[in-house]
Amino acid sequence: MTRRRWLGWSLALATAPVSALAAQNGGTAWPTKPLQLIVPWPAGGATDLTLRILCEETEPLLGQPIVVINRPGAAGTQVAPLLKAAEPDGHTIGQVPITVYRHALMNTVPWDPVADLSPIVQVSGTTFGVLVPSNSPWKHFNEMLDWARSHPGELILGSTGIGTTAHLAMEEILLQHQVRYVHVPYRGTADQMLAVAGGQLMAGVNSTGFAPWVDQGKIRLLAIFSAQRSPRWPDAPTLRELGYPQSVYTSPWGIAAPRGTPEPVMKKLHDAFARAMQSERHLRELARYDQTLDYLNTRDYRQAVLDTVEREKRLLQRMNLLARPAGT
């Protein structure tokens, strides 16, 4: 982006009037200036890059540029307070991972993503899998589970951290079978996969960062938590196939606006992004990072968020990870 173009966009953001009344009466005057999309991850990561392509595909449909604003930190939750503080006119939106809602369940925070954010459209999710060393005697997921049930407290299993999607996905199944095990949380994928490949862990749960280790034959993928089998690893069954219909974990993410954004504006945003995400260019970018399109319209996305919050609230309570109300 040239300095002149950036200065022009900044001037437009500072001076263009917002016609909320026009938005309420059909949204014909919207958008009146460039949009800002808050991305709670560093620039250059997989989600950031796919979103930049999506924005480029959406811009002609809205008739305005979309400026990506990276706000990393706080485990990807910075987007919530920033959207809460933003003007609800549709010109500021954000990428919201489902972990934002989970973080608010596990911690006392001065924002409520259910009350403060308005989901627009769900875009994508991530493939998570159960992994074992390549020399593990377990060739199938149920073999590992049977062994863990007959050897209480002896299964050593790693995840990407306490309360992460990887942790909750496996915990739900093990709690279902009252399996006691040793949980080893890791900060990053590389350290965890090295521990699985080297045999320090008997098993691990992670997202598709495991791909290089699986492709090189250093670890084995027993099953995935997606609703359907992965085109890249078609031999790995889903947990749903193995008899766990509720065990679908993809850490879905979508785009949201501040609460109070006019419905005509929400519809314009939904329609533009829903069309743009189907573009071949965007689909290629998702596939590049082993992500698939996981589209939900505004109504279904809102309901999916509410259902996930209730489900995870119950699970976190069983795990003693639910935040206590202030003053208790």
181-212 residue pLDDT tens: 999 999 888 899 999 999 999 999 999 889 99
Nearest to 162 by CA among 215, 102, 211: 102
116 domain residue, yes or no: yes
Domain co-membership, 200 together with 281: no
Check whether 238 has a pLDDT greater than 70: yes
Same-domain pairing of 116 and 219: no
Query: What mean pLDDT value characterizes the chain?
Result: 90
Is 81 contained in some domain? Answer: yes
Looking at residue 28, its pLDDT comes to 56
Contact of 269 with 257, CB cutoff 8 Å = yes
70 and 152 share one domain: no
Instruction: State yes or no: pLDDT of 296 exceeds 90.
Output: yes
Q: Are residues 164 and 109 in the same domain?
A: no
Q: How much is the pTM?
A: 0.83
Residues 150 and 116 placed together within one structural domain of the fold = no
Closest CA to 90 of 133, 45, 27: 27
* pLDDT higher than threshold 80 for residue 25: no
Pull the structure tokens for residue 115. 């009350």
Let me know if residue 166 belongs to a domain.
yes
Q: Which two tokens stand for residue 133?
A: 């060393």
Domain that residue 153 falls in: 128-224
In a shared domain, residues 9 and 94: yes
106, 136: one domain: no
Please state which of the ranges 47-51, 110-114, 271-275, 288-292 shows the lowest mean pLDDT: 288-292
Confidence class for position 326, pLDDT limits 50, 70, 90:
low
What integer is the mean pLDDT of 142-155? Answer: 96
Report the domain count for the chain: 2
Q: What's the angle, vertex CA 111, arms to CA 110 and CA 116, rounded to 5?
A: 155
Lowest mean pLDDT among 40-54, 279-293, 296-310, 313-327: 313-327
Give residue-wise pLDDT tens across range 274-291: 999 999 999 999 998 888
* Pair (96, 201) in one structural domain: no
In terms of domains, do 83 and 152 share one?
no
CATH of the domain at 215: 3.40.190.10
Domain assignment of residue 137, yes or no: yes
Same domain membership, residue 117 and residue 11 = yes
Residues 136 and 77 in one domain: no
Q: Is residue 171 domain-resident? A: yes
Q: Could you identify the residue written with the tokens 């790995």?
A: 236
